[in-house]
Structure formats: structure tokens, C-alpha cells
Amino acid sequence: MADLKSLKTQFLEYLEIEKGRGVKTVENYDRYLNRFLSFGKVKAPGQITEQMVREFRITLNRSAGVSGTMKKNTQNYHLIALRAFLKFLRKRDIESLNPERIELAKTGGRDLDLITADELNRIMKAPYSAKASKGTAAGDLTTLRDAAILELLFSTGLRVSELCNLNQDLDLSRDEFSVRGKGDKVRVVFLSSSAKKAVSEYIKKRADMSDALFVSYGKGSPKTKDLPRLTPRSVERIVKQYAVKAGITRKVTPHVIRHSFATDLLSNGADLRSVQALLGHANIATTQVYTHVTDKHLREVHKQFHGKRRN
């Protein structure tokens, strides 16, 4: 029988090839499993016990995180990886701990980082107002790029990694395009008129030879050569910069704009299944996190219509 190290390698290959998980996800599963296997000092699948998992959970709970103890969600990521590995072993008729014996830690409801419609509008205008305040041209290439990034994020609800992977061969004669998201799944996203205009103006102004839609303009770098593609971290910095310039004190990231995209649709009557498809969520439970935010109008409905016939 193969040892645990070999079985773990097979499991990670299975995740990537058969399940279509992204490279980052596979790397995370590898890290979580290594932590468990190192903790338990086990060499064979049959040596994994419920008691060992319980002691591992205690160790995780006492581990230091960024803000003190490790968050329950982060603890659960370790357990999810272990449970998936045990399911993989069971499918191959390899004796080990029953994956159903592993329960996840209870977590509170997920809090969404949201911004108001007014704050969103201020961020969208920030690239142009920032240039105007410095006395530089609003048609500056960096300004057009940043405006296109913000408009595209809100129009499509793209993940920042999906945005960074786009190339400038988008067909702007149409209001939609396909994007390859998590798990290598393809979905269609849609362009608002303002997003289409912003992207079009940016592409027309460019003279470089890069395939990437969004590229980095270093100080003094020629604008005609093959320029590096923007990274997700760079886009996060750009969004943060304009949030500050728009006078928003709370943390704003590309994912916060994705939240705004989802809540905007639901608040205006879109159904949950459609929003799930537009976001590229594999499970509708992931999309349901937005519903408690958009159901605030139910208080007004209750007040207006309930108990009117009672004295």
C-alpha cells in the first residue's frame, strides 16, 4: 500500500486534474494537510484517528492568527481539506477514519464588507477627480486604465484574478463576454454602457504591444513596448487608493465591489439563481450570504401590511 505522502500527492493531482480546482486551492490543501500530517506524525492512513483530529483542532484553536487566535473559518479550512482527503481514500477503498466523523467548527454568520451607493459612485468618479485636482489630463492613460478597472469590476462582478487574466482582444461590439473562473468553469458576464465606454477609451489610447487588458505603467517606461500584466495585488492597491481619495474610511477591495455588484442586482429584484450564475458560484449557499442584506425592506413590508384589522 502507498504511504501517506504518496497518497497525498495523488489526492492533490486528483483535485487539479479531475476536480478542476485552481492552483492556489491545491496549494492551500497541500499546506493544510501537511500541517495535520506533521502534527499527527502518521505514516499510514489507518493511523488517523478521531482523537488525533480532536487534538489537532485544539492545537489550531490555540494557534496565533493575524488578530490573536486563529479564526474559526481558517480552522475549518484545515478540516475541510482533511475531510476531502479522507473521502478520496474511501473512494479508493483505503481504510482510514470515516470523513463523516469530522465536524466543522460553528461560525457566526458571515459579515459582508459593503459600501453605500453614494460611496460606490464616488469611487467610480475618483480617477478623473484625482487627476483634475493635480492639474493633469483626464485622458491620461493611467486614469483611463483605472476608470476601466473600476467600471468593469462593478459591471461584471469579476473576481480580481479573473479581471487580471483578461486580454485586450475583447469584442466590444457586444455587451457580453466569456470568462474562465474558479475550477476552470466558463461563464458569461455583461458590460454596462459605462463599462464598455471606459474600456473602449482605454484601449484606443494604448500604443503598447501587450496582450493583457490591464498592464502596469512604471515611471519612465516606454508606452509602446510589451508591458507587464497587472497583478491582483496591484489592482487591490489601485482600488484602495481611489477609496481613500473618495473619502471612504472603511476598507475597500475589488471583492467589496463584487459584493456591491451582487447586492445591487438582488436589491433591484434579480433572483438568487441568476446572481449565482453571474458570480460563478458553484453552490447557491455561497450566494445566499447576500440575501440578509437585501431583505431589509421586509421590515417596512411587515409594518405596512401586518395586523391592520386588529383593534
User: Where in the chain do CATH 1.10.443.10 domains reside?
Assistant: 117-297
**What is d(CA 143, CA 126) in angstroms, rounded to the nearest whole number?**
9
| Cβ–Cβ under 8 Å, residues 181 and 281 | no
Residue-level pLDDT at 304 = 75
pTM to 2 decimal places: 0.67
End-to-end C-alpha distance for the chain, whole angstroms: 77
Residue-level pLDDT at 107 = 63
Q: What is the pLDDT along the chain (311 residues), one digit of tens a residue?
A: 568 889 999 999 998 888 777 788 889 999 999 999 999 888 889 989 999 999 998 898 887 655 567 788 888 899 999 999 999 999 999 999 999 888 887 765 555 678 888 999 999 999 988 665 555 555 689 999 999 999 999 999 999 999 999 998 888 988 999 998 887 789 999 999 999 999 999 999 998 889 999 999 876 656 667 889 999 999 999 999 999 999 988 889 999 999 999 988 988 888 889 999 999 998 888 888 887 766 666 666 777 777 767 65
Distances (CA, A) of 151 to 123, 180, 199, 216: 10, 19, 8, 18
* Ranges of H-type helices in 116-229: 117-134, 141-156, 160-164, 193-205
Homologous superfamily, domain 117-297: Intergrase catalytic core (1.10.443.10)
Q: For residue 82, how far is the Cα from the chain centroid?
A: 23
Cell 482605454: give the residue. Answer: 202
Residue numbers annotated as active site: 159, 182, 255, 258, 281, 290
Q: Tell me the angle at which helices 23-40 and 4-17 cross, rounded to the nearest 10 degrees.
A: 160
**What is d(CA 144, CA 223) in angstroms, rounded to the nearest whole number?**
14
| 253 phi and psi angles, rounded to 5 deg | -130, 170
Q: For residue 297, how far is the Cα from the chain centroid?
A: 27
CATH of the structural domain 4-101, one choice from 2.130.10.10, 1.10.150.130, 1.10.10.10, 3.40.50.300? 1.10.150.130
Residue-level pLDDT at 261 = 92
User: Where in the chain do CATH 1.10.150.130 domains reside?
Assistant: 4-101
Amino acid found at 252: V
**What is d(CA 303, CA 305) in angstroms, rounded to the nearest whole number?**
6
Neighbours of 230 (CB within 10 A): 22
| Cβ–Cβ under 8 Å, residues 156 and 195 | yes
